[in-house]
Amino acid sequence: MTENTQDKTVAILSYITIIGWIVALVLHGNNRTGLGAFHLRQSLGLFLTMFILAWLPIVGWVLNIIVFTFLIVGLIYAVQGEKRTVPLLGDFYQNIFSGIN
């Protein structure tokens, strides 16, 4: 796999369930790239936000629909190979998970 292909693979896999995120993290560990790290941070933040919101009845569930939409938006950015943050929370995720590089 070329570096660009593996970079996009890591970015895309990071949005495909938590297991996909773990696989992406392992692949990223073998070949660290900026795009992979960026999308690992974004998707981790989205997954954790969805997990926390799932515990809040009704309001959290409705908000999870919005966060799931952000997850799809992040996946689209990953497929396009772009480093664009998801709406509202993306910059926060980049700061809080800055240790993933």
Query: pLDDT tens across 22-75, in order?
Result: 999 999 999 999 999 999 999 999 999 999 999 999 999 999 999 999 999 999
Domain ranges (residues) in the chain: 3-96
pTM of the model: 0.93
Residues in contact with 33: Cβ distance below 8 Å, sequence separation at least 6, in sequence order = 3, 6, 7, 10
Predicted confidence band of residue 5 (pLDDT cuts 50, 70, 90): confident
How far apart (Å, rounded) are the C-alpha atoms in residues 73 and 79?
Answer: 10
Is the Cβ–Cβ distance between 73 and 6 less than 8 Å? Answer: no
- Alpha-carbon distance 3 to 96, whole Å? 27
Two tokens, residue 46: 């989205």
Question: What is the distance between the alpha carbons of residues 14 and 95, in angstroms, rounded to a whole number?
Answer: 18
pLDDT at 2: 63
CA 53, 58, 63, 64 dihedral sign is positive
